[in-house]
A = this chain, B = another copy of it.
């Protein structure tokens, strides 16, 4: 197809990124070659570094570059509140909102009967452990307003309601909406107006 095997190999790998197909991968690779010093070399270096260092936080499931992530070790953040999210993209969306200064717990997905995802396939047992081990006053269920997200929220709420105060993001999250698509102000408003379960 294109000129040489190294360039073809790069195009094939780029085409496997979400949001890029073969055509946009070819465009991206030509752009990278034209911007070799300003973009291609730094990108190769940044990827190698992240490939070497990135890991999941053993405590909360966030991605970072050490066994316990920056948020879990940040002494300026409040203990006692855990915000439960489906995935790291949702944690990042919450952080962009900037309204939450507690800790997180990333489930790594939602319960799904269809896909045979049970509690032990997610970080739900670890969440139960944290509620036991840490002094937690409130668990905020910031799951997506989808059927699977709400099923998962109810499952967790059932198991924690006798042990800790529970709340969920309230006003501002549209029906069927996903956190990562919302603007920062909407997330902040939904957090402030969270309702007790």
Q: Please list the residues of chain A having a beta carbon within 8 angstroms of any beta carbon in chain B.
A: 1-4, 6-7, 9-10, 13-14, 16-20, 23-24, 26-33, 36, 39-51, 53-54, 62-66, 69-71, 87-89, 92, 95-96, 180
- Cα separation A3 to B64 with both chains bound (whole Å): 6
Once the chains bind, are B33 and A44 in contact (CB under 8 Å)?
A: no
Once the chains bind, are A6 and B53 in contact (CB under 8 Å)?
A: yes
- Cα separation A74 to B53 with both chains bound (whole Å): 43
Once the chains bind, are B6 and A63 in contact (CB under 8 Å)?
A: no
Name the contact of A46 in the complex, choosing from B6, B23, B33, B62 (C-beta under 8 A). Answer: B6
Once the chains bind, are B23 and A36 in contact (CB under 8 Å)?
A: no
- Cα separation A69 to B5 with both chains bound (whole Å): 12
Given contacts A1-B96, A18-B27, contact A50 B88 (CB under 8 A): no
Instruction: Please give me the residue from chain B that is nearest to A7 by CB atom.
Output: B50
In the complex, what's the smallest C-beta–C-beta distance from A33 to chain B, in angstroms?
A: 5
| Cβ contacts under 8 Å, A70 to chain B | 3-4
